[in-house]
Structure 1
Amino acid sequence: MSAAERHALVFGATGLVGRHLVLALGAAGVRVSTAGRSRGSYERLARWLEERGHGRPPADLRVDFEAGSPLLGDPEQWQDVTEVYNCAGAYRFGMTAEEAHRANVGTVLAVVAFAAKLPRLRRLVHVSGYRVGGQDPALVPWSAERRREAYAALGAYEASKVEADAVFTAESERLGLPWSVVNPSSVIGDSVTGESDQYLGLAATLKDLWRGRLRAVPGDGTTFVPVVTADHLARFMTLLPPDDATRGAAYWVLDDATPALPGLLALVADHYGVRPPRARIPVALLRRLPRRLTGADPETLTFLSGDRYPTAPARELAARHGLSTPDVTRSILAWADHLAAYRFGDAAEGRRRFTTVAGVRTFEVGELGEHGASTVVLPGLPVSADTWAPVAAALGHARVADLPGLGMSGGGPAVWADWTGALVTGTGARHLVGHSVGAAAAVTAAAARPGLVERLTLVSPFFLQAPAGGAARWAPLTRRYLRLVSPQALSRRLTGDAGHAEALRGSVADLRRAGVAGTAARLLAAAAGRRWREELVVALRRYEGPVHVVVGADDPLTTEGRALLDALPRATVTVVPGAGHHPQLTHPGEVAQAIGAATGAARPARRVPGRG
């Protein structure tokens, strides 16, 4: 059967596997219909597909697993379906047995019964799991006692997947359907971009690693938690319907080259720049200890095993069709980057990534397209790039980069000169926007490369303003405060209002990372000293390009600072009424307008008189 003759129906198309499957089917030239619960979920899927180059949008069919037939609407829409993929179900821990059975076993029964009515069906494909596949269909239906025992021993999620695997095979055989099963391992992000929106299981372990909360590796040196990338799994699944040899077969799809769990965590820890946990804790002990001590969900412990799996048939099928497995190390690190960049689900919006600048792992948010962005914002203290994301979005063609040693970037202040140099020469930064301490990095870079840095915008440049009070000069006290501060308290400290706490959650999380609060405290102490301030004044005088200073009316320039700017031939000042040292938090629209006006990227901003 040619691709043009194929019509695929995907249940669970909005999930991680389902989305990639629709994308892979489209790339193979297969017509696709998706069964979703709402128009809104379909529209989100359609946007996701369009952003990734999917051509013809899939047909939108409505599903209701509680109804007599799972699909609603005109049957003519699915009468020529040739293949059905069941990616539906619930991947969630903490469900009751009834919830898990309804979500994972009930959907299988509904999909199989529906597929049996399709006159042109060539294949029914079910996504099971590497720890649950291969169940005996002869034991179906399960007795009430067997179900109680399985759900008590394995937990509701895994037990429901075990039962669903057996039910799928038994019902498909009973109805004479041409079936195939895929048993994927832990599904991680796209092999190139790392993109994923699943944060359970292994992803939760990486979250603890990133935040310095993983005190010990669960299991032992043989513990094997294999992975498979979402895009590879999806491409593998598209091979099944047209290949008659795959009928009635189950395939374990995972990468045998996945490092054992201690090695995998050490690999990611090195990439994250954090210390890998040295201690190991046996699974048997984890089961006995209370969850409040271990932080481990009891339902995840069954996945901590040294077992290996029968992957040869899947590898042979992939090789026969020319499908190669992505490099597992690169895939894991790309996934780890994506998880951290999106704060493990806490920052779901915007364009975010890690890149390498002068050998330093650097976090950026904002315009990240292939054409880059010539306007780069360098945030101040003690905030990170997230606080500037609304301004960057309003500007367009702008990005925000955490300085080395701050926010989510690696390195430290010692590499700022090389880093800013590479930012200018290697990434096309021509307009540097420096906020507070970020203004110091911007001025130094501009003075060192006057022919490349075409414009400077300095927002709340501390060296042209009154120095901070005595407490900020004592780094140990500041470090302790920053390590312990809550978003609400930091919001009150920076703006006088707790209402900006949500915008500061990312910054507070970053200050909890090893070394960040200490670096911020030392920089704050240095910013209060005379030497650094005088050096920056000299550097600013040397820069001959246009300089635009933006300050809050409640955080004015000193008399000396204003006199210096008045003496510079190409300097302008914008004062934002009602703003303090962090106008990007309190007045992001006005800040974006002021920056854009100076570059011609927005309507001209009115120069507002103020105390600066």
Structure 2
Amino acid sequence: MSIHNSSLSNAERKADPKPSNKNNEATESATILMTGSTGFIGKEVVKQLGGSQAQLLLLVRSESKARKALNAYGVTDFSRITCIQGDLSAPGLGLSDADRERALQANIIIHAGGTMDVTLKPLVAEQIFMNGAREIAELAEEIQRTHGLRHMIHVVGFMSPYGRKDSPSGSSTDEDRGNKPNRQRSLLSRYFHSESAYEHMKFEADRYIRQHAEQHSYALSVVNPSTVVGPHPTGITEQTGGIGMMIQAMRRRRMPLIPGGPQHWLPLVSNDVVAQTIVFLTRDRNPSGGTYPLLSRKADSPDMKELIRLLAAELDVSAPRWSVPLPIIHAAMKAGGTKISGIPPESIAFITKQEFGVQQTERLFQRMGQKLPEVSDLLPYVTADLDYRFSYPSQEDLPQGWTRTRKGSLAVLVHEGQGEPWVIVHGLMSGADDMLPLGNALWSMTGNPVWLVDLAGFGRSPVLRNEAKRKAFTGQVEAVKSVLEEVQGPVHLVGHSVGAAIAAVVMQESGRDNIQLAMLQPVWGASKDGLQRLISRFPRRMLQGLLSRMTPQQVAAQLNRADASEINPTLLEGYSRRASSGLKSPRIAGANADLFHWIQSHPYDKVLQTNVNAQCTLMAWGTTDKGYARPENIHSSVQHVELPYGHQFPLFHAEETASLLLKWKMNRSERLN
């Protein structure tokens, strides 16, 4: 059976319905069979469906692993979720008789399953995508025949040629597909060709399901996400393929040329927008189906030259100036360039010159009551998150109770609680994750909310930009102030090292009288170490490069030189390894270099000059710190505490530091009462 142009299914032959919003929402109960529920898009769909009355049947290979993955993503209510064990690549989906009966109770199918791996071998890609399409289609046919399938929603990449006005006929059959295109293609054309088996089989699955929906008369909506990035507002992108491959190459300074040039672009969409679209489609009472490319118009999106420039700025590397046609880049990668760039030739397949018809998508979003969101504002957070993942490839899962989010303009780790929050700002060569032991101890002792802040350019926070980048310290102050703007009542602000100096100025400039400040080993003067003073005078790029080459052993040696107290070897080794890994990122190394320069060249001499601020402030000083001198211009009303430790005591003595902070809080409360 052939498909001709836009006449792709019953759904495609119908005109898009007029905006009707809630009037078109399904009122009868929905039972949704879903594949790909633990994928990057799927987990967000399950999360967003959590507030509905729909019953979810999730096809998973392992129920325990699926529950763990969903739970880590924030899905905690499984009362309407049933996991059925199966495999897209297995005959009959590998379902038991009982699970197949459960699957046949569905009246909506979301087919979003399949591995995101552009390097899949042809046989593996066919087993996953084509076998999965055939088996899901067979279930759809049986459901349609027995009690009616309300809606099939298929998620397939935006480069699929099917469903467009100029789409191919799709008349090829299983027999003539195989390797025939490869046999007909010359050696030269194969060498310059960029379509992967992953793409090819996904598109063939798209064609197959469209044909099947036409033949068996059920409504089919095809959702075509462009390259998918993390959700608003955090941009957390666990799927490191796609744009992540370019970011990996750029951070390693292995992308000397712009792939494609100003005529090309890389369409992007966030996974929460994809999920919103799918969830909305599940609620249609009388779905008409259609094809919905999820991307902005090309004219409203950055071209490749602009995109690479934006990524380079976020990664703190130099942007390439010259562009090269994609076929030449693809050929160079196949000839050995992959070993240099670290990315496979298939990775450039998502860069395109094409414009996509998004009128049907825009009409759908009108029905949803919104516009297709732009990704531009999210891109700095996506870039920082992916750079962080590449910097810490062996990162562990967060301890229970902690979530990653965004406060103001910065990435923040949050543990919810009751009462006045603790907002903790880290120091040099560290990040929010390094403050987790202190955060855990504070939460355990107080039950208060705890926010661990990544300074701009550190951890998962984007770099400072424009004027703020040239004024690193004041830019960090403004960024932390944006975090505190999300706290309406009193707050305990804690800063370590240069983070203490930043926190002190935040308190001073905020104009608020409900901030209590704890400065832990505050630094706003040059180091006592002559070598560090010398290095801190180096030009920024040179200092950035020196920091990026620091080994874990060198980090540990520097700490031991600056700290006369004994540090737990296990804690020291873990910290040194993390610090060295983080500094491999030009972004993180650059942010550290900027603050090293500030410490050396621009000591802040106007901290805590008001009596009101000073009376709300604690300074804790480790007396064995051989790297920095105790600040001399501390107001006399500041409460002073000494500890027999060195500069990094909040990291290596978290319990004692938390006890100190709690005692200070209680003493202050008693004085106020």
> Which among 11, 17, 30 is matched to residue 35 of structure 2?
11
- The within-5 A match list for 1:29-68 is 29-44=53-68, 46-47=70-71, 57-65=80-88, 66=90, 68=92
> Which among 561, 565, 575 is matched to residue 644 of structure 2?
575
Change (3 A) 1:384 1:470: same
Residue 8 of structure 1 and its aligned partner are, at CA, apart by 1.2
Corresponding position of 2:151: 123
Residue 447 of structure 1 and its aligned partner are, at CA, apart by 6.7
**Deviations 1:209-264 (CA, angstroms, capped at 9, x unpaired):** 677765432112121322333333334334556465635x5443432243333344
> Which among 425, 430, 434 is matched to residue 378 of structure 1?
425
SS of 1:332's partner is coil
- The within-5 A match list for 1:226-305 is 226-238=267-279, 240=281, 242=284, 246=288, 249-256=290-297, 257-266=300-309, 276-289=319-332, 290-305=337-352
Change (3 A) 1:150 1:124: farther
- The within-5 A match list for 1:322-361 is 322-328=368-374, 331-341=375-385, 343-345=387-389, 346=392, 349=398, 350-353=402-405, 356=408
Query: Contact (CA 8 Å) 1:379, 1:438: kept in 2 or not?
Result: yes
Q: Distance in 2 between matches of 1:59 and 1:179?
A: 24
SS of 1:9's partner is strand
Change (3 A) 1:207 1:326: farther
> Which among 159, 178, 183 is matched to residue 200 of structure 2?
159
SS of 1:91's partner is coil
Residue 89 of structure 1 and its aligned partner are, at CA, apart by 0.7
Q: Distance in 1 between matches of 2:608 and 2:45?
A: 57
Q: Partner amino acid for 1:481?
A: L
**Deviations 1:408-446 (CA, angstroms, capped at 9, x unpaired):** 552334526963994697455743323223333445556
Q: Which has the higher contact order (CA 8 A, sep 6+)?
A: 2
Query: Contact (CA 8 Å) 1:424, 1:430: kept in 2 or not?
Result: no
- The within-5 A match list for 1:440-479 is 440-443=501-504, 452=513, 455-461=516-522, 468-474=528-534, 475-476=536-537, 479=543
Corresponding position of 1:359: none
Change (3 A) 1:526 1:431: farther
> Which among 582, 590, 596 is matched to residue 662 of structure 2?
596
Q: Distance in 2 between matches of 1:22 and 1:282?
A: 40
- The within-5 A match list for 1:192-203 is 192-203=233-244
Query: Contact (CA 8 Å) 1:416, 1:441: kept in 2 or not?
Result: no
SS of 2:174's partner is coil
Residue 521 of structure 1 and its aligned partner are, at CA, apart by 3.4
Change (3 A) 1:221 1:413: closer
12-21 vs 411-420, which moves further:
411-420
Corresponding position of 2:21: none
Residue 33 of structure 1 and its aligned partner are, at CA, apart by 2.1
211-220 vs 277-286, which moves further:
211-220
Corresponding position of 2:436: 389
**Deviations 1:505-545 (CA, angstroms, capped at 9, x unpaired):** 56414565574343243245359xxxx59877988999234
How many aligned positions are there? Answer: 581
Change (3 A) 1:372 1:115: farther
**Deviations 1:333-358 (CA, angstroms, capped at 9, x unpaired):** 225414514645346645445555xx
Query: Contact (CA 8 Å) 1:341, 1:353: kept in 2 or not?
Result: no
- Residue 97 (structure 2) pairs with residue 97 (structure 1): no
Q: Distance in 1 between matches of 2:552 and 2:265?
A: 38
Corresponding position of 2:566: none
Corresponding position of 2:594: 519
Q: Distance in 1 between matches of 2:403 and 2:37?
A: 23
Query: Contact (CA 8 Å) 2:521, 2:621: kept in 1 or not?
Result: yes
Corresponding position of 1:78: 103
- Residue 137 (structure 2) pairs with residue 109 (structure 1): no
Q: Distance in 2 between matches of 1:34 and 1:57?
A: 11
Q: Distance in 2 between matches of 1:89 and 1:569?
A: 59
> Which among 620, 634, 639 is matched to residue 549 of structure 1?
620
Residue 286 of structure 1 and its aligned partner are, at CA, apart by 0.7
Q: Distance in 2 between matches of 1:447 and 1:181?
A: 55
Q: Partner amino acid for 1:415?
A: T
Root-mean-square deviation (CA, aligned residues, Å) is: 4.4
Query: Contact (CA 8 Å) 2:316, 2:586: kept in 1 or not?
Result: no
Q: Distance in 1 between matches of 2:63 and 2:314?
A: 40
591-600 vs 300-309, which moves further:
591-600
SS of 1:33's partner is strand
Residue 82 of structure 1 and its aligned partner are, at CA, apart by 0.6
Residue 48 of structure 1 and its aligned partner are, at CA, apart by 5.9
Q: Partner amino acid for 2:326?
A: V
Change (3 A) 1:367 1:314: closer
Q: Distance in 2 between matches of 1:449 and 1:307?
A: 49
Q: Distance in 1 between matches of 2:92 and 2:457?
A: 58
Change (3 A) 1:291 1:212: closer
Q: Distance in 2 between matches of 1:116 and 1:421?
A: 56
Change (3 A) 1:434 1:233: closer
Q: Partner amino acid for 1:71?
A: L
- Residue 266 (structure 2) pairs with residue 225 (structure 1): yes
- Residue 549 (structure 2) pairs with residue 484 (structure 1): yes
Query: Contact (CA 8 Å) 1:133, 1:183: kept in 2 or not?
Result: no
Q: Partner amino acid for 2:451?
A: R
Residue 502 of structure 1 and its aligned partner are, at CA, apart by 3.9
- Residue 246 (structure 2) pairs with residue 205 (structure 1): yes
Change (3 A) 1:316 1:400: closer
Change (3 A) 1:17 1:545: closer
SS of 1:183's partner is strand
Corresponding position of 1:439: 500
Q: Partner amino acid for 2:499?
A: G
- Residue 190 (structure 2) pairs with residue 145 (structure 1): no
Corresponding position of 1:607: none
Corresponding position of 1:419: 478
SS of 2:142's partner is coil
26-35 vs 506-515, which moves further:
506-515
Q: Distance in 2 between matches of 1:86 and 1:413?
A: 48
Residue 55 of structure 1 and its aligned partner are, at CA, apart by 9.1
TM-score (normalised: structure 2): 0.72
Corresponding position of 1:312: 359
Q: Distance in 1 between matches of 2:619 and 2:413?
A: 21
394-403 vs 9-18, which moves further:
394-403
Query: Contact (CA 8 Å) 1:450, 1:543: kept in 2 or not?
Result: no
9-18 vs 446-455, which moves further:
446-455
- Residue 645 (structure 2) pairs with residue 586 (structure 1): no
Corresponding position of 1:504: 579
Change (3 A) 1:327 1:127: closer
Change (3 A) 1:369 1:261: farther
Residue 10 of structure 1 and its aligned partner are, at CA, apart by 0.8
Q: Distance in 2 between matches of 1:8 and 1:504?
A: 46
Residue 103 of structure 1 and its aligned partner are, at CA, apart by 1.9
43-52 vs 12-21, which moves further:
43-52
Residue 90 of structure 1 and its aligned partner are, at CA, apart by 1.2
368-377 vs 379-388, which moves further:
368-377
SS of 2:376's partner is helix
Query: Contact (CA 8 Å) 2:503, 2:517: kept in 1 or not?
Result: yes
Corresponding position of 1:610: none
Residue 585 of structure 1 and its aligned partner are, at CA, apart by 3.8
SS of 2:423's partner is strand
